[in-house]
Structure 1
Amino acid sequence: MTEAPYPRPASGWTVVILLLVAYIVAVMDRQILSLLVQPIRHDLGITDTQVSLLHGFAFVITFTVLGVFFGRVADRGNRRNLIVIGMIVWCFATVACGLARNFTELFAARMAVGVGEAALSPAAYSLIADYFAPEKRGRAMGVYTMATFMGSGVAMIAGALAILSTMGASEVAVPLLGMMPSWKAAFIVVGLPGLLVAAALAFIREPVRRERAKELAGSSTLSFARDNFRILSVMILGLACNALASFSLITWTPTVFIRLFEWPASSIGVAYGLILAGPGALGILFAGWLADRMAKVGGPGPLKLASYALAGVIPLSLWVGLAISPGISIAALIGCSFLLAMPTGLAPLAIYQITPNEHRGQLIAAYLLAATLAGLGLGPTIVAGTKDLLFGDDLKIGLALALVTTLAAIAGFALLSLASRMTAPAASK
């Protein structure tokens, strides 16, 4: 039986752009907290470690627990509907963050954001893979994945320009809700527009599932993962180290500039936002283009390319937190953002290279679980804990950030280099 042709490119790219916008909204809703550290600490009377828990653990605990379950739904059910429902949940949960009155309520609202966002990427990557042939898939997935950096950048710019210019000291009028602190209004402003994107996504079509396993009898994701445990575990751990370095920078770089260089939050928000949305997004696009190019000429695979990128991060990451001037730090940050984005864009390609269709949602969810635990769950808290336990000085946050990101980059390079050697035989079968 002949397999149905892939959908027209115009249809595929329409879906990719809608998913890109949805992902940008998700990352904005997730990352807006990065520039709200100072006013939230002031209004709620909490510590850096508590902020790191709000930023990471509160989101991660539900995102990771439900991620694999939603991956299973994506492998067997309607992926479009899963995305739409998840988006509605996380958008309303983001609004709830703006209504929180204390640490406990904000923690609970951040958990609800994780519930909704856990549904997005397992279903989105699966949809894109069925809209595009393998030799065209790298660019399509790269466009979607660049939302990781574009969303963070837009969140920082929006927070800087619309909210943090007041440093949370003033109140703004919100329709139907009255006056409230500007940091609370920020959550509402970034949360509500996503409902329009969810409505648009409700009209996309489910494509035919492709590249299914040849032997379906007795096939399960658990048995597939068990048979490929060594390759998958080393690969995912290496990608998780990349996430730890990346999210540590995204979370604490604004605070480094505010405390060490005495920059206004609005200034570093705009500067770092432009870096994330520019060089960061370009790093993912470049990785997707390069992966497609290498697939055609038989060059290095996705994991080898990802390891090269992390090798470049190692000498640069130290200078973000240890630079003696903001100019040097910004230059290092540009390089790190571009290079750390590359493994993020290459990750789904590397996983799909060895994974049949009926296991992809769950394997992507497993990768996202590890990356989110390491990136959002551990990264921010490890940096804060390193500063608190080893140095005990708020002005040492840059030193703590440099130490954590550099060690993560070294570990990621080693693991991805090993995974590349292990994966080559599997990919060639």
Structure 2
Amino acid sequence: MGCLGICQAGAYPLHVLCCLLLTYLLNQLDRYILAIVIQPLAQDIQFGERSCLPRENAKQSGASCRNASSQDRCVSLLNENKTQSCQWNYDGSGWEYQVIAGPVFILIYTFTGIFIGFVADTVNRKNFLSASLFLWSLMTLLMGFVKRYWHLLILRFGQGISEAGCTPFAVSLIMDYFPKELRGSAMGFYNWGIYAGYSLSYAVGNYVTRANILGQGWRWSFILSAIPGFIVSVTVLLTVRESPPVKINDDEPKPRVSHRQSIGQKVLHGLRPFTRPSLLLLCAAGSVRNAGGYVWAYNAQLYFNLYHSDADVGRWLSWIPLVGGCIGALSGGFVSDQLVKRSGMYARAWVLVFSQVLAAPFVAGALLLNPPSCFLLLIPANILGSFLYLLTLIVMRWHQELVSAEESRPLLESDSLRGRLTPEGEARKYS
């Protein structure tokens, strides 16, 4: 069932889903805007590595400047008018940037997200989601006023904590607002926020910085990225209900963890599906793939700034992740659904494997070729790479249902339920 099928859930669930999509879009925009403006930011507050960079409006090519390995050699390079064409300046690279892009954000984001995942069903989700959005928008806004590196470090830490509240609360709401047969489409629609927010960060970070509003350059990229978050936060708080007005009744009862259980019991219950080797392998593979994705996302702009300084990065990457990601999310679900009809649920895992293997040569080509070829190769890379998110969630959900069925055997007709959850049963469901 395509994404248009979510309209069958009604106008209000669709409104809620659009609010969640906007929240996720802003989550990705505010997360990655730092990576887009890192070079002018580093030059302004002075941190990181220095290298030879072309001056603005200089006719000397970026390649000539890049070949200068020392400051003396850099400033001695002249253009045809006998004026300096290169400058020795902060380029945005170095361990200081990698710390705020990686550990300071990702580690706290990961561990906070795990904790929030365990309590997401026991608190008022829409209030916490609204508060999370408001807080990370505030952190993003304040980044536009930093004067020192340690200011940025603290705000990035706060951004990681607050952004961790987005997906756990949003997914929990989607599970309540949409019946089982529409949840895959609803999740696919929600995941568009990844590609839209990431693409928008390139548009805002490049063109707003270039516009140099009020002489503040990169600072307005943070400010303009943050302002919509306050509006959407209030909208979520005032218009989204904690529970749907009409209760969703699935065909099959779902055993739920009692809210009276201790945190330790909930942790053990949540870890139960991970006793399966297949799920552990899936998580390990997903971790490696996501690590590569984060490395690319936080260094793509910097890479093109340093090695293809004449290229207009915003012109290409403001739409390629959006178009490629959306096509991949739709086609990945369709292709895997067709294979499930023939081969069962394990077919989704094979689609995951082959899509990531096929994407690798295109990503490598993007690093080896010059513009515009390197950008064009990112289109198939994004299409194939985006298969990962939705299919991984579906496969993990299937494992969770298998474990839940085993735990509920005394209460449910387990033989019948397992017949529907096994690969063969899954295939029969689509036939």
**TM range, smaller chain:** 0.7 to 0.9
What are the superposed Cα offsets for residues 275-311 of structure 1, whole Å, 9 maximum, x if unpaired? 0121123212333444555566765554332222102
Per-residue deviation at 1:66? 1.4
The residue aligned with 1:190 is 225
d(CA) in 2 for partners of 1:248, 1:119: 22
Would you say 1:100 and 2:142 are equivalent positions?
A: no
Over 3 Å counting, the alpha-carbon distance change for 1:346 and 1:231 in structure 2 is: same
Would you say 1:73 and 2:119 are equivalent positions?
A: yes
Aligned residues with identical type, % of pairs: 23
The residue aligned with 1:268 is 313
8 Å Cα contact 2:37/2:206 also seen in 1: no
8 Å Cα contact 1:83/1:123 also seen in 2: yes
d(CA) in 2 for partners of 1:87, 1:292: 34
d(CA) in 2 for partners of 1:256, 1:156: 14
Instruction: After TM superposition, list the pairs within 5 Å mapping 1:30-179 onto structure 2.
Output: 30-47=31-48, 48=93, 49-163=95-209, 165=210, 172-173=213-214
Would you say 1:326 and 2:327 are equivalent positions?
A: no
8 Å Cα contact 1:143/1:285 also seen in 2: no
Over 3 Å counting, the alpha-carbon distance change for 1:358 and 1:232 in structure 2 is: closer
AA paired with 1:345?
Answer: L
d(CA) in 2 for partners of 1:290, 1:124: 26
d(CA) in 1 for partners of 2:174, 2:257: 23
Give the SS at the match of 1:353: helix
Over 3 Å counting, the alpha-carbon distance change for 1:224 and 1:67 in structure 2 is: closer
Would you say 1:245 and 2:287 are equivalent positions?
A: no
Over 3 Å counting, the alpha-carbon distance change for 1:86 and 1:296 in structure 2 is: farther
Per-residue deviation at 1:80? 1.3
8 Å Cα contact 2:133/2:166 also seen in 1: yes
8 Å Cα contact 1:212/1:357 also seen in 2: no
AA paired with 1:235?
Answer: L
Over 3 Å counting, the alpha-carbon distance change for 1:307 and 1:132 in structure 2 is: farther
Q: How many residues align?
A: 346
d(CA) in 1 for partners of 2:376, 2:309: 18
**Alignment RMSD (CA, Å):** 3.0
What are the superposed Cα offsets for residues 218-272 of structure 1, whole Å, 9 maximum, x if unpaired? 76342451453233322222122221222222222222222222225xx202311
d(CA) in 1 for partners of 2:154, 2:110: 15
d(CA) in 2 for partners of 1:358, 1:72: 17
Instruction: After TM superposition, list the pairs within 5 Å mapping 1:280-291 onto structure 2.
Output: 280-291=325-336
8 Å Cα contact 2:118/2:266 also seen in 1: no
Over 3 Å counting, the alpha-carbon distance change for 1:302 and 1:84 in structure 2 is: farther
AA paired with 1:335?
Answer: P
Would you say 1:311 and 2:357 are equivalent positions?
A: yes
AA paired with 2:135?
Answer: V
d(CA) in 2 for partners of 1:228, 1:289: 27
d(CA) in 2 for partners of 1:247, 1:357: 31
What are the superposed Cα offsets for residues 35-81 of structure 1, whole Å, 9 maximum, x if unpaired? 11211221222222211222222212321231122112212222211
d(CA) in 1 for partners of 2:142, 2:423: 47
Give the SS at the match of 1:255: helix
Over 3 Å counting, the alpha-carbon distance change for 1:88 and 1:149 in structure 2 is: same
The residue aligned with 1:350 is 395
The residue aligned with 1:212 is 254
Gaps of 5+ in 1: 1-5, 174-178, 360-422
TM-score after normalising by structure 2: 0.72
8 Å Cα contact 1:213/1:358 also seen in 2: no
The residue aligned with 2:70 is none
d(CA) in 2 for partners of 1:30, 1:263: 26
d(CA) in 2 for partners of 1:30, 1:352: 27
Q: Which segment drifts farther, 44-53 or 217-226? A: 217-226
Over 3 Å counting, the alpha-carbon distance change for 1:227 and 1:141 in structure 2 is: closer
Give the SS at the match of 2:322: helix
8 Å Cα contact 2:30/2:140 also seen in 1: yes
8 Å Cα contact 1:34/1:55 also seen in 2: yes
d(CA) in 1 for partners of 2:285, 2:387: 13
What are the superposed Cα offsets for residues 350-397 of structure 1, whole Å, 9 maximum, x if unpaired? 2222225999xxxxxxxxxxxxxxxxxxxxxxxxxxxxxxxxxxxxxx
8 Å Cα contact 2:138/2:226 also seen in 1: yes
The higher-RCO structure (CA 8 Å, 6+ apart) is: 1
